[in-house]
Amino acid sequence: MLLPDRNTVDRLLRHFRAQERTVLDRPCDLSARRRFEDTAYTLCVLMGVRTAGEAVLAAERYVTTQKSRNREAWSPYRQ
């Protein structure tokens, strides 16, 4: 299984969180909402899940896993 670059996922996750704060601060800003939704979609694709919530959880687990762990054993569905 091909896995995404850990640094890319980390950067995208931080970007998602920043955009989330922006959307919460300015809920009527449609351009901010579109950028947020685009970032959420990209996270979903990278993590191989269907919803933004699942993608964020999977990305957080993926980024925080120890680098010495075998990458083939990683799964976005692991609890």
Q: What is the mean pLDDT of the chain?
A: 88
Rounded CA-CA distance 36/23 in Å is 8
Task: Give the torsion through C-alpha atoms of 71, 55, 34, 24, to 10 deg.
Answer: -120
pLDDT given at position 68: 43
Residues spanned by the domain of 18: 4-69
11 domain-assigned:
yes
Work out how many domains the chain is built from and give that number. 1
36 domain-assigned:
yes
Regions of the chain where pLDDT drops below 70 = 1, 66-79
pLDDT given at position 71: 55
Contacts of 35 (CB under 8 A, 6+ apart): 19
Q: What is the pTM of this model?
A: 0.78
pLDDT given at position 27: 94
Rounded CA-CA distance 20/5 in Å is 22
pLDDT given at position 3: 84
Residue identified by tokens 């979609």 is: 41
The secondary structure of residue 68, as a DSSP letter, is T
